[in-house]
Amino acid sequence: MSKTTIPTGGITDDAIGNTKLDLTANYAFTGTITGDNNNLVKIAGVEVTSATAGVELQSCFNTTYDSYMMVIRRFIPVTNNQDLQMQIMTSTNTVISATNYFYAFRYFEDTGSVGGPVDNDGSFFKLGSSVTSTEQDGGFSGSYLVNVDKTDDSGNSFKITGHGGVRNVNGDLTAYFGAGVYNDSTGDVSPTGLKFTAASGNVLKLQVTVYGIAE
C-alpha cells in the first residue's frame, strides 16, 4: 500500500509541542492516498438509452471474487406497467432459463400496502413490478449483494439479496427488499453474465454496474 508524503514544512510543532498541519501554504503532495476505500473494484457496466429487447452484461463474474455489488439505475420499459426480470448467463453467452430460480422480493408501498413477487420454480428473477414508462417517474433502481462462489463446485450457482424502489403505475412509491437463489450447483451452472428484460415489450433505458468486493 502506498502512502501520501507531506513535504518538509507542511507539518510543524507549535510553542507547546503540539504537532499541526499547515493548511495555509501551497504544498505539492506526492504519492497516492489509499486505504480501505479500494474494496470495490468495477468489473463491468452497461447502459442503454434506446429501445432494445434485452440488456446483456457480459463477463461480470469471475474466479477472482466471490462477492459482488450490483447497482441498477433507471430501468424504464417501453410498455407501461412492466416487471423487471433478470436471468444469469454462462461464458458462451447462453441465457439460463431452467426453472431453478427461487426468489422472494417483498414490497411496501407508501399507502401501507404490502406484497411482492415470489416463485420457487421460476425461469428468471423478478426484481420489481408495475414499473411505469413515464421517465419523470424515474424508473426502477436498486442495489444488490451478489454471491457467486466458484471456489466451491457443490455450492449454489448464484445468490442475490438487496433492495430497490419505484414509483409504480398507480403513483405509489414502492420499496422492494428480498433475496433470490439459482438452485443448482456451480459445477453445473457457472454464471459469468446477466440479462435484463421487461416482462413484455422492450427496455427503453437501463444502466447496470457490477463491482467485485475484495476480501
Q: Is 6 helix (H, G, I), strand (E, B) or coil?
A: coil
Model pLDDT for residues 55-95, shown as the tens digit of each residue: 999 999 999 999 999 999 999 999 999 999 999 999 888 99
Higher per-residue pLDDT: 23 or 45: 45
| 29: pLDDT strictly greater than 50 | no
Q: Which residue has the cell 424515474?
A: 138
CB 132 within 8 A of CB 202: no
Average pLDDT value for the chain? 88
pLDDT of residue 201 exceeding 80, the answer is yes
Phi, psi (rounded to 5 degrees) for 25: -85, 155
Residue 160 burial (CB < 10 Å; 0-12/13-18/19+)?
A: buried
Domains defined along the chain, listed by start = 1-37 (no CATH), 39-213 (2.60.120)
**pTM (two decimals):** 0.82
- Any residues with CB less than 8 A from the CB of 186 and at least 6 apart, and which? 148, 149, 150, 152, 153, 154, 155, 156, 157
What spatial distance separates the first Cα and last Cα of the chain, rounded to whole Å? 15
Using the 8-state DSSP alphabet, how is residue 147 labeled? E
Amino acid at 120: N
Q: Express each pLDDT in 146-156 by its tens digit.
A: 999 888 888 88
Q: How far apart are CA 155 and CA 186, in angstroms?
A: 6
Q: Rounded to whole angstroms, how far apart are CA atoms 84 and 58?
A: 18
Q: Reduced to 3 states, what is the DSSP secondary structure of residue 124?
A: coil
- β-pairing, 114-115 with 156-167? unpaired
Distance CA 61, CA 6 (A): 39
